[in-house]
Chain A
Amino acid sequence: MPNKITKKLKRFACLIAVTAFTASSAYADGVKVGFIGSLSSDAGLSALRGAQIAIDELNAAGGFNGEPIEYVKADTREDVTEGIKAYEYLAESEEVDFILSGSIDDVSLGWLPRMKEFRIPTLDTWTSYIGIIDMVIEDYEGMKTYFMNVASDEALATLYVDFGRDILAKKMGWDSVVILHEDTAFGGAINGLVSELLAPESGIEVLDTIVYDTATVDFSPIFNRAVDTGADFIYLISSVNSQVVSSQYTKLQVPKAMTGVNVAALGQEYWEDTGGEGGGISTLSPVPSVGFALDPASQEFVNTYTAKYGDSRPRFPHFNGFNAYWGIKQAFAAAKDAGGFDPDAWPQEMLKQDIKLEKDGEIWLRYGFWQPGEVEERTGRTYPHNIKFDITPPYDNGAPSMVVIQWYENGETAVIYPPKYATGEFAVPSWVK
């Protein structure tokens, strides 16, 4: 009898030892982080570099559980099929533990089924498509490894409606618009939001919608058509070669104000790219952006970034560079608490992450997440696993979903909306009467 007990105890001890060994050796070779995104766009590179800086800092502090963190990258070329191949490469060839994404809407939608299949914790820093958050709501078990730390486009649009109402309609007295959007998935999607939300909510009528090809080099006939509509202003939606349309707007001195979404104008290189001819336009931008006053912690990140990358563009990180930096920090903090990147345990800990960045004693930026079932009061809906944005003034519970930035004719930039973050005022170009 004692022999049997001894044997059982021995087996139990062996089991404990094996379990302990397995647990400790799970990351004995270090942890692998995969980057999926465009390696040739400023926004893609911003995310890639933001994550690199965070990983460098984590490695300098001892890595993860004493082991180094390895970083591998897979280019999507902003192509849907390449995105799927890239995700498969990271999952099955590189066997990464965590994936950081700098992908645009349809590219993320392309690889999402792979994420569900491989169950790899994944953080998106660029796409803001609300449909993905809806997928998290509809299939929580399958999608729980997914997080998005940029405000979803519905939240972006809500704040933009406020801008339309407060500045474009009330302050400027405009009541009609002509939409000029590029022929891309992004252009079509934002056009839908503007037509269905901004215009009716702000009392602005859409007189015409002009779709242009991204390869367009001569915008004069397009601008002529826009001017002929008699609209008060032009709403531009451009993510590809946006500097071309902007610089032609300035060179041609189009006699209508132009605002909207201009992705090229989110980076500091915009002024160079337009040959100093990009002034007079404004664009919405996720935060932080150029012209955005930074809190000390974000400023420190920018200092490290500029010291490391110098004159290599983008010289100033786009918003998703910040998201990638803080996102990596949070992902590893969650992994520490969860004992690794287990697809069931990690999301629970990631949901608890909450970095509040303060400036002058008030909350300035926030990297937290909406919990499943938690209702955002203004829109009356849930945003599980989306960044904890605040779209209600005075924005004291988080970062705003977006700001509007202005490029002045002298090349200076400022945030012009919402008022809490404003460092300048909305201005129309000098040639517009």
Chain B
Amino acid sequence: MTNPTKKYLLLWAIFIAVMLLLPEFVSKGTLRTIIFANFLAIFAISWDVLSGRTGYISFGHPFLIGIGAYTSAILSYRFDMPIELSIPLAVLTTTIGGTLFFLPALRLKGSYFALVTLAFMELMYQLVQVIRPDLTGGTRGMSGIETITRGAVNNYYLSFALMVTIAISMWLLMRTRFGSALSAIGMNEESVRGSGLSTTKLKLAAFMTSAFIAGLGGAFYVHYLGSIAPRALFDINFLFTIIVSALIGGAATIIGPMFGALFLTILLEALRPILPGVERYLIYGSIALIVYMFKPQGLVVLVLDTLDKLRSIISSRS
């Protein structure tokens, strides 16, 4: 094991230890906020694996999250299937079903790819309302879906365990040649193809990985919420929150989407007691915009730059 890897593993261990101790120091209300941040981080990581790395901007992630969420919700709520079975089936359905849907889109590039994926989200929004509303609950959705556990602390640990497992898995995956190839596609796809690698296969693998995470996150998310409605998932605001989390934290990194999700979720909830109305979204949007304009590489780079500056100031004084 190389020294940098050891260093990063140590940082992961410290991060996990801090997060595990968090319920001892913060209120249940704060834990509830972090639960949402954990799920948002999962969705943002999922988006980043495909879009952040390869540059193929997907506007259809709610489509994938929705397949996972709706499949598990329908199986458990309508057919009394145990969650232990419905979640893996939902993940499988998302990975296979999502891939079949998106396969033709992977031949497209740039804005065409983005528009097609956006159309998938809209398609899903219409489908769940029209096709078998007796199963999907139609426009109003379903309420009273079985939850995995109850209480802020239990759900916090569950969502954190899921998020950190996905994050570390993706971190390890992105350190392989596969991860490097994906980043290379983002930089220059033609060069990658010229080097003899099949970019279509690589993109397909990236998409399937992304869909797997989205399905997993969606399935767990619905069993946390206990309810599902088309308007909650197939929504442009939901989509933008996912993308902004990845971008504001730092795209093409693992820690970036996690950091971005935590920052955005906590910022919005912190403003609630002071500005309970829509004004907080104005402040929230403005802060996000300023941060992104000031540091387009993301908050992670901002923090690292600040640390470097502090380090150089300290070393110059000493």
Footprint of B on A, CB under 8 Å? 39-40, 73-75, 77, 79-81, 84-85, 88-89, 92-94, 105-106, 109-114, 116-117, 129, 131, 135, 139, 184-189
Of the candidates B138, B238, B278, the one whose C-beta lies within 8 Å of that of A75 is B278
In the assembled complex, which residues on chain A have CB atoms less than 8 Å from the CB atom of B276? 39, 73-75
Contact B139 A109 (CB under 8 A): no
Minimum CB–CB distance from A120 to chain B (whole Å) comes to 14
Docked-complex contact B28 and A110, CB < 8 angstroms: no
Q: Are A112 and B143 in contact (CB under 8 A)?
A: yes
* Beta-carbon contact of A188 and B27 below 8 Å: no
Decide yes or no: A92 and B36 within 8 Å by CB, A110-B229, A113-B225 being known contacts. Answer: no
Interface status of B152 (Cβ within 8 A of chain A): yes
Interchain CA distance A40-B276 in the complex, whole Å? 11
Q: Does B237 contact A (CB under 8 A)?
A: yes
Asked if A110 contacts B143 (CB within 8 A), the reply is yes
Residues of B within 8 A of A40 (CB): 277-278
Contact A89 B272 (CB under 8 A): yes
Is the beta-carbon distance between A109 and B278 smaller than 8 angstroms? no
- Contact check, B147 vs A113: say whether CB atoms are below 8 A apart: yes
User: Which of A88, A184, A186: most chain B CB closer than 10 A?
Assistant: A88
Q: Which B residues are in CB contact (< 8 Å) with A92? A: 27-29, 31-32, 152
Given A39-B277, A113-B147, A106-B225 contact (CB < 8 Å): no
A106-B144 contact given A84-B227, A114-B226, A185-B231, CB 8 Å threshold: no
B297 lies within 8 A of chain A by Cβ: no
- CA–CA, A101 and B156, complex, Å: 26
Q: Mark B214-237, 1 if CB is under 8 A from A, else 0.
A: 000000000001110111100101
Q: A110 near B277 (CB under 8 angstroms)?
A: no
Q: Is B140 an interface residue (CB 8 A)?
A: yes
Within 8 A of A (CB), among B23-40: 27-33, 36
- Distance between A245 CB and nearest chain B CB, rounded to angstroms: 19
Within 8 Å of chain A (Cβ to Cβ): is B141? yes
Q: Provide the bound-state CA to CA distance between A285 and B237, in Å.
A: 31
Q: Which residues of B contact A186 (CB under 8 A)?
A: 139
A94 to B138, CA, bound (A): 33
Docked complex Cα distance between A113 and B232 (Å): 15
Interface residues of B in 265-281 (CB under 8 A from A): 269, 272-273, 276-278, 281
Instruction: Name the A residues within 8 Å of B141 (CB-CB).
Output: 80, 106, 109-110, 185
Whether the Cβ atoms of B27 and A93 lie closer than 8 Å is: yes
Say yes or no: A80-B231 contact (C-beta < 8 A), given A39-B276, A93-B27: yes
CB distance from A86 to the nearest CB of B (A): 8
Shortest distance from the beta carbon of B156 to any chain A beta carbon, whole Å: 11
Known: A74-B276, A106-B229, A113-B226. A89 touches B269 (CB 8 A): yes
Q: Is the CB of B225 within 8 A of A79?
A: no
The answer to whether B238 touches A81 (Cβ under 8 A) is yes
Chain A residues with CB below 8 A from B225, complex form: 81, 84, 110, 113
Known: A77-B278, A185-B140. A109 touches B29 (CB 8 A): no
Whether B291 sits at the interface, judged by CB under 8 Å, is no
- Residues in B with CB closer than 8 Å to A112 are 143-144, 226-227
Can you report 18 A-B residue pairs in the complex whose CB atoms are below 8 A from each other?
Answer: A75-B277, A80-B227, A80-B232, A81-B238, A85-B33, A85-B36, A88-B29, A92-B29, A93-B29, A93-B32, A105-B140, A106-B139, A106-B140, A110-B143, A112-B226, A113-B147, A113-B225, A139-B144
Question: Which residues of chain A are near B231, meaning CB under 8 Å?
Answer: 79-80, 106, 184-185
Q: How far is the CA of A253 from the CA of B29 in the complex (A)?
A: 54
Given A85-B269, A112-B144, A113-B143, 15 more pairs with CB closer than 8 A? A39-B278, A75-B278, A81-B238, A88-B32, A92-B27, A106-B141, A109-B142, A109-B229, A110-B227, A111-B227, A112-B226, A113-B226, A114-B226, A116-B144, A187-B139
The chain A residue sitting closest to B226, CB to CB, is A113
B-side contacts of A114, CB under 8 Å: 226
A80 to B145 CA separation, bound complex (whole angstroms)? 15
Point out the residues of chain A lying under 8 angstroms from B277, CB to CB. 39-40, 75
Q: How far is the CA of A130 from the CA of B227 in the complex (A)?
A: 17
The smallest C-beta distance from B209 to any residue of chain A, in angstroms, reads 25
Please state if B227 and A189 are interface contacts (CB–CB under 8 Å): no
Contact present for A74 and B272 (CB under 8 Å): yes
| Distance in Å: Cβ of A70 to nearest Cβ of chain B | 13
Is B150's CB within 8 Å of the partner chain A?
A: yes
Which 8 A/B pairs are nearest by Cβ-Cβ distance?
A93-B29, A113-B226, A80-B232, A185-B139, A188-B139, A109-B143, A92-B29, A39-B277
* B22 CB, min distance to chain A CBs, angstroms: 15
A131 touches B140 (CB 8 A): yes
What residues of A have a CB within 8 angstroms of the CB of B269 in the complex? 85, 89
The answer to whether A113 touches B29, judged by C-beta atoms less than 8 angstroms apart, is no
Query: Across the interface, which residues of B come within 8 angstroms of A85, CB to CB?
Result: 32-33, 36, 269
A117: chain B residues at CB < 8 Å are: 147, 150-151, 226
Chain A residues, Cβ within 8 Å of B272? 74-75, 89
What is the CA–CA distance of A73 and B272 in the complex, to the nearest angstrom? 9
CA distance A421 to B141 in the complex (A): 36
B27 to A113, Cβ gap below 8 A? Answer: no
> Nearest chain-A residue to B129 (Cβ)?
A188
Please measure, in the bound complex, the distance between the C-alpha atom of A105 and the C-alpha atom of B142, giving whole angstroms.
11
Give A155 Cβ to nearest chain B Cβ, in Å: 18
The residue on A at minimum CB distance from B275 is A75
With both chains docked as a complex, state the minimum distance between the C-beta of B68 and any C-beta of chain A, in angstroms.
16
Residue on B nearest A85 in the bound complex, by CB:
B36
**Do A184 and B232 touch (CB < 8 A)?**
no
CB-CB < 8 A to B278: which residues of A?
A: 39-40, 75, 77
Q: How far is the CA of A426 from the CA of B97 in the complex (A)?
A: 53
Complex: chain B residue closest to A187, CB-CB: B139
Distance, CA A94 to CA B30, complexed state (A): 11
**Choice from A77, A116, A188 contacting B138 with Cβ under 8 Å:** A188
A361 CB → nearest B CB, Å: 41
| Residues in chain B near residue A188, CB distance under 8 A | 129, 138-139
**Minimum Cβ distance to chain A for residue B317 (Å):** 43
Minimal beta-carbon separation of B265 from chain A (angstroms): 9
Nearest-CB residue, chain B, relative to A105:
B140
A73 to chain B, nearest CB (A): 5
Question: What residues of chain A lie closer than 8 Å to B33, measured between beta carbons?
Answer: 85
Taking A75-B276, A92-B152, A113-B226 as contacts, is the C-beta distance between A189 and B27 under 8 angstroms? no
Task: Point out the residues of chain A lying under 8 angstroms from B238, CB to CB.
Answer: 81
Partner of A81, one of B27, B140, B145, B232: B232
Query: Which of A39, A73, A77, A109 is within 8 Å of B140, CB to CB?
Result: A109
Q: A135 → chain B, closest Cβ, in Å?
A: 7
Residues facing A in B244-286 (CB within 8 A) are 269, 272-273, 276-278, 281
Interface core residue of A81, A89, A93, A139 (most chain B CB under 10 Å): A81
